[in-house]
Amino acid sequence: MTREKSDIVPPKYDLDAKWDACVDLTARRFVYSSVAGAFGGLLLFRSPVSRWAAVAFGAGIGIGSAYTECSQKFDGFPTKFPAAAPKVPEAPVSETVLQNPPPQDRQE
């Protein structure tokens, strides 16, 4: 009469499975993007410093994309700015014109 772990903990709250998936995802994306950066650096750059920079850039992209997806798996979406346009106070045109009169050219 042993219960399986899946019977006890619902998948939404199973942190072990989420951590395993995130570690696996991070390792794969880090390696794949580093290899892609190395290949791109080999094709595009001549100096070793530039090639290593391409590898580091690829690794950073892999870790960043893995972080984003893992934060979504843990229901903690990264902060996003609201898509709504900023609110502009509505004022009648006459008030706006009276507050900021246009400069007048003087003719003497």
89 within some domain: no
Q: How far apart are CA 99 and CA 85, in angstroms?
A: 25
Q: How far apart are CA 48 and CA 108, in angstroms?
A: 72
* Dihedral pair phi/psi, residue 2, rounded to 5°: -90, 135
Number of compact structural domains in the chain: 1
The DSSP output letter for 74 is: T
Helices (H), 1-108: 5-8, 15-44, 48-73, 93-99
Domain that holds residue 41: 7-79
The token pair at 92 is 């009648």
To the question of pTM greater than 0.75 for the whole model, the response is no
Task: Going residue by residue through the chain, which has 108 residues, state the pLDDT in tens, using 9 for 90 and above.
Answer: 455 655 676 666 677 888 888 999 999 999 999 999 999 999 999 999 999 999 999 999 999 999 988 888 877 665 565 566 666 667 665 555 556 666 677 665
Q: How far apart are CA 6 and CA 53, in angstroms?
A: 44
101 within some domain: no
